[in-house]
Amino acid sequence: MESQVKVKKKRVAVTVPPAAPDGGYSWLILISSFFVFGLTFGVIKSFGVFFTKIHQHFQTTATGASWITSIMVATIYIVAPLASVLSACFSHRAVVIIGGLICSLGVIAGSFSDNLIELCVTVGFLNGVGYALSWIPTVTILSFYFEKKRPLANALSTTGECIFTFVLTPLFQVLINAYTWRGALLCLGGLQLLLCVCGVLLRPLRASKNEAFVSEVTTEEQGFVQQTLLLEPSEPKPPLGQESAVIQTCEAPDVGNVTVQLEEPEEQSLKESRCTPKTSEFMAKVLRYMDYSLITNANFMVFTMFGVFSCLGLFAPVLFLVPYARSKGVQEHHAALLVSISAALDLLGRIVFGWVANLRLIQAVKQLTATVLLQGILLLLFPLASSYIELVALSAAYGLTFGATVSIHITVLSEVVGVHRLGSALGFFMLIRSGGGLLGPPIAGLLIDRTGDYGTAFLMAGVAFIISTMFLLALHCMNTRGQKPTLNVSLNQTEQNP
């Protein structure tokens, strides 16, 4: 049976996402993101200074003490999707402010803990929840404010992590010596109230509405009817009598969420009887940030597997660098200085390689693969270090490659899924890789307890990073074979015209 095709043009109102300013107020968003990175992951990277003191105070094993950081990191990843949904339902600003309050209360409560379990609940779990609520909305809204300069903006915002690590590591050591680790945690709890100030700066972008034309294509074949709307902004306006009023939303690969409003009075009354405008808007926001179709995206799932293995070794060297140096006979302040040196080169790596990524001279996924591989090799060399100078050199080189990795991994994720799906993708990405964040430090601690050597933690982390590069290579091959998505916007109409 031959198919029949009918074409009808209509005038529509199109709501498109706002254009990224790439300047002006965007720089305040960048400053806010800078402080959020520092007050979250910068604190985590500096927490190794507390590790030895807590280990000695509660007389526990390395595995037991490592659960604090492990739970903190895993909680960030597990709560990430919830943070995305809350940002959609309320606002990025409100969620970050609440997250800052939870962080501060969790750490202050942790300073009064009487056992390791209470520390895991307060400094580990509550602090991790606050970090997720603060970090996810900030990273998401930063990508909305930058487009042309997005790789550089992401790199500059992440420098807050290494600058705060450089400053906080020796500061925590001074506070611990002066006020014990409990007093140092009280000071940290007050400092983390700055996250609330960062949240106040997160002003949302407003979408714009434009008029456009669509061609309504109706295809009938073997009793099956399919109606498609194709946007045609350049066409002249049709007569007013051909207007309609059905609201539909679609997502184009390179355009994002596009709301098309057709003006047809007869259909409008039927739609209003089914749901209220507030309910429709609420569900649209939730679905936007909980895009379950991402789990069927092969490229995204391969990238998340990279995240799982890289996260498995990500925080083990940060947590055990100071204890490893102390086991080699290095004094406390010199051991803490290793973290600061790594953070200083981390800063340089983020700025330089973020700038290189912004030039787009090489594909971001290739750059990410090379830096992660170097990171893994350097970690394998740590157990071979026999002097403080060698530890300084390895710490500096590791910091440089770590900064190069962090500066572009969010950029690669936005290229995999598209910037307007970044909020949902980032939530799922963090959730899936939470397994690596949860198991990494305890596995490293177990190896240390079994062997009595902190160097085994670096071996485990190095192997995990090298395995993660295999998934990046697979992603690059998939991108090479894939087809470039079309820019046309198509809609499947649920209402059929007679």
- Which residues does 160 contact at the CB level (< 8 Å), separation at least 6? 33, 34, 35, 36, 37, 38, 39, 42
Tens of pLDDT, residues 234-267: 444 443 333 333 334 343 333 344 444 444 433 3
Measured between alpha carbons, how far is 303 from 107 in angstroms, rounded to an integer? 33
- pLDDT reported for residue 187: 92
**What are the φ and ψ backbone dihedral angles of 482, each rounded to 5 degrees?**
-70, 160
d(CA 259, CA 276): 17
Q: Structural domain boundaries of the chain?
A: 26-204+293-481
Q: What is the pLDDT of residue 91?
A: 84
- Of 249, 245, 252, the closest CA to residue 271 belongs to 245
The 3-class SS string of the chain reads CCCEEEEEEEEEEEEECCCCCCCCCHHHHHHHHHHHHHHHHHHHHHCHHHHHHHHHHHCCCHHHHHHHHHHHHHHHHHHHHHHHHHHHHCCHHHHHHHHHHHHHHHHHHHCCCCCHHHHHHHHHHHHHHHHHHHHHHHHHHHHHHCCCCHHHHHHHHHHHHHHHHHHHHHHHHHHHHHHHHHHHHHHHHHHCCHHHHHHHCCCCCCCEEEEEEEEEEEEEECCEEEEEEEEECCCCCCCHHHCCCCEEEEEECCCEEEEEEECCHHHHHHHHHHCCHHHHHHHHHHHHHCCHHHHHCHHHHHHHHHHHHHHHHHCHHHHHHHHHHHHCCCCHHHHHHHHHHHHHHHHHHHHHHHHHHHHCCCCHHHHHHHHHHHHHHHHHHHHHCCCHHHHHHHHHHHHHHHHHHHHHHHHHHHHHHCHHHHHHHHHHHHHHCHHHHHHHHHHHHHHHHHHCCCHHHHHHHHHHHHHHHHHHHHHHHHHHHCCCCCCCCEEECCCCCC
> Which pLDDT belongs to residue 334?
85
**Distance between CA atoms of 328 and 315, rounded to whole angstroms?**
20
The answer to whether the CB of 365 falls within 8 A of the CB of 190 is no
pLDDT, one tens digit per residue, over 74-126 is 888 788 778 878 887 888 889 999 999 999 999 999 989 888 888 889 998 99
Region 26-204+293-481: CATH code? 1.20.1250.20
Q: pLDDT tens digits for the chain (498 residues)?
A: 455 555 555 555 554 556 666 677 888 989 999 999 999 988 888 887 887 788 788 877 767 777 888 788 888 878 877 887 888 788 888 999 999 999 999 999 998 988 888 888 999 899 999 999 998 888 888 878 887 777 778 778 878 887 888 888 888 888 988 888 899 999 999 999 999 999 998 887 765 555 555 555 555 544 444 444 444 444 444 433 333 333 343 433 333 444 444 444 333 433 343 445 555 555 555 555 566 677 778 888 888 889 888 888 877 777 788 888 888 888 878 887 888 888 888 888 888 887 777 777 788 888 889 999 999 999 999 988 888 899 999 999 998 898 888 778 777 887 887 766 776 777 778 777 777 777 887 888 888 888 888 888 899 999 999 999 999 998 888 878 764 443 344 434 434 343
Q: Which two tokens stand for residue 306?
A: 């990279």
Rg over CA atoms, the chain: 25
